[in-house]
Chains A and B, each alone.
Chain A
């Protein structure tokens, strides 16, 4: 099992450009999420999905879009990049059988994004 795979590992964008951060998992996890990690701010939830076709906003959703057309993939789209979106982005997934929240979260290795 590869676990959670994120691409690319590094990306530099100019202000106003758009791009998609890719996330794929091969563990058949229902729950997938995107976090950003910033110094002094910790990890903050951007968007999450509890299954294919279902997405919802987290703590800091503005400027980002997501979709979940398959169980395996959960891409994060930056519509018009801004310097405030410079951060390290992590995708994470877990099994959520029924109403259970008691499964650990599995993380990818992150995408380091710089917006100039």
Chain B
């Protein structure tokens, strides 16, 4: 059974810090790993997609890595800003479906 776990459930850091969000998955035969951002009362916005043949993807201050052998992905946020405050979800695309973690609620304090 595909399972995706995100720890911690919530994280609060001062503005300007670099931080890492973690995602663990059980399916070794993944097609891709996706990271999303969700703001309160809104839908999910796709941030990065890492194909199974890739090790990492970068977009601006965001860098996501993928290690299939250990079943782990990380989202690195550089020089965090208050506008980065949101819930971040990862999702694993398997052969049959996309399975989501429950997310990490991130708060960046000015």
A19 to B32, CA, bound (A): 35
Q: Are B31's CB and A101's CB within 8 A?
A: yes
Tell whether A102 pairs with B43 under 8 Å between CB atoms, given A42-B101, A42-B103, A45-B98: no
Shortest distance in angstroms between B94's beta carbon and chain A's nearest beta carbon?
A: 9
Range, interface on chain A: 20 to 34
Question: Within the complex, what minimum Cβ distance (angstroms) separates A66 from chain B?
Answer: 15
Name the A residues within 8 Å of B98 (CB-CB): 45, 105
Q: Min CB distance, B90 to chain A, in Å? A: 11
Residues of chain B with a CB closer than 8 A to A48's CB:
97
> Given that A42-B103, A105-B34 are contacting pairs, would A59 and B97 also be in contact in the complex, using a CB cutoff of 8 Å?
yes
B interface with A by C-beta (< 8 Å)? 31-32, 34, 36, 41-46, 49, 51, 89, 91, 93, 97-98, 100-103
Interface pairs (9), CB distance under 8 Å: A40-B102, A42-B89, A59-B97, A101-B31, A104-B34, A105-B34, A105-B36, A107-B36, A110-B41
